[in-house]
Structure formats: C-alpha cells, structure tokens
Amino acid sequence: LLTARGVPLILDASQSAGILDINVGKYPCLAAVCMPGHKALYGPQGTGLLLALDDRIAARPLLAGGTGSLSEQMEQPDFLPDALESGTPNVPGAAGLAAGIAFVRAVGTARILKHERRLAAEFARALSREERIECFAHPSQTGVLSLRVRGVKCETLADALARRQIAVRAGLHCAPLAHRTAGTEQTGTVRFSMSFYSTARQLEQAAGVLRETVKNL
C-alpha cells in the first residue's frame, strides 16, 4: 500500500540491527534504515547509521552548515564524503562502531540472537511464579525483557535495583505507541537488556535481587 501511494517508509532498527537480518530489498517503499551504534552493534554511545535507500533522503538535508574542505564557499560541497560532513567527523566513534560491526559479523547475528533469546526466556521463567511481577515476554523477542510490578512505580523499582548494582531502564523507552499497544502507556515498564556477553548466572542473580527487592517495596 505504501509503495502504491508513493509513501516512503523509514525503518527504526534500534533493537534489531545486529541481531536480526534485515532484507532491505524486500520492501520497495523502504526509503531509509536508521539505527544507533551503542546497542546491538556494540559501538560507542553517540554513534549511529542512516542507510539511505532513496536518493531523496540524502539529496534534501533539513540543515547544512560548515563547509570544511571548501571553506571559501558558503554552500556545502557536492561531493562525498564532504557533502555529508559538517564540522569535524567523529573519527574515534566511527572507528569504534566499525569494530563493533566487525565483531557482530564475526560472531554472526543468528548466534547472537539465539543466545539472547535463551537468556530472556530463562529470565522470564525465573520470574513467572512471582504474582506481583508481570513480564512482557514472547518467544520471538530479542534480548530485552520488560516488566512491571503491581503497586510499584517503574522509576521506584529501577532506582532500587540501581542501588543493588543492577542497571535497567524505566519508562516508555522512546516507544510510547508500543506501550499503548501493550497497555502500559500509563505505567511504563522496567526494561532489562541482555547482550552476547551476558551470562545465565548473571540473569539468575538479577532475578534473585529483583524478587528480594519487590518484597521490600
């Protein structure tokens, strides 16, 4: 339908790039894929990628400035990479992101996905008997698990876990529409994130701390 109407689609691959294979040729309406570098691509914070599949995305920037290599001109250069580089490029960040992508390619997305899914499923099972804990788990999910505790604000729970050296994120996680679909728009959730470096022992310990924390809240 989007292709027929000429509507370009921009895919947010924040939680999938580096874990799931993305076939950009499968969707003719796909104009761009955007992804952060610090999540499943194992790059530094402050980095990311915009894969422009439609010439209109790169040809019409919203803002341009800093002529860099042609400082005597007021217009941005029309040749690459200068056309897309305003100011000093984040070379250390790009190098770190390249190393992260090389790691993902060496390990393989299928192996990473299998490991993260197993951890998320085991973590959900470890919490399934806790009546106050509601887990939002599904076999097809990647290495993230959201939950909420009856009668406890998600920010309160996240703060209590932080004091026990467990780092989680509380709130709507930049995805209010997803929370509307899940029925958690008013409460938010606490999100646990796993990676290829996470272990079953770590998740077992986290589950124990979570259960103990909930009893005291």
Residue 8 makes CB contacts below 8 A (sequence gap 6+) with 2, 29, 30, 31, 32, 54, 56, 57
* CB burial readout 121-158, b (16+ within 10 A) else e: eebbebbeebeebbbbbeeebbbbbbbbbeebebeebb
Q: pLDDT over 90 for what percent of the chain?
A: 66
Q: Do 53 and 126 share a structural domain?
A: no
Q: Judge whether residue 165 has pLDDT over 90.
A: yes
Q: Give the phi and the psi of residue 180 in degrees, each rounded to 5.
A: -65, -40
- This prediction has a pTM of 0.85
Please give the residue range of the domain that contains residue 131.
Answer: 109-215
83 exposure class (CB count in 10 Å sphere: 0-12, 13-18, 19+): middle
**Which domain-ending residue is among 19, 45, 73?**
73
pLDDT higher than threshold 80 for residue 56: no
CA dist list (Å): 200 to 114, 134, 163 = 13, 21, 21
Report if residue 89 sits inside a domain: no
With a cut of 90, say whether residue 164 has pLDDT above it: yes
For β-strands 9-12 and 30-36, DSSP reports them as: parallel
Q: Which residue has the tokens 């390990």?
A: 107
Task: Answer yes or no: do 116 and 53 share one domain.
Answer: no
CATH number, domain containing residue 163 = 3.90.1150.10
Domains of the chain: total: 2
The residues, any chain, with a CB within 8 Å of residue 21's CB and separated by 6 or more, are 109
Domain presence at residue 41: yes
* pLDDT surpasses 80 at 44: yes
Q: Is residue 19 part of a domain?
A: yes
**pLDDT, tens digit, 9 for 90 and up, residues 69-126:** 787 877 778 888 887 777 778 999 999 999 999 999 999 999 999 999 999 999 999 9
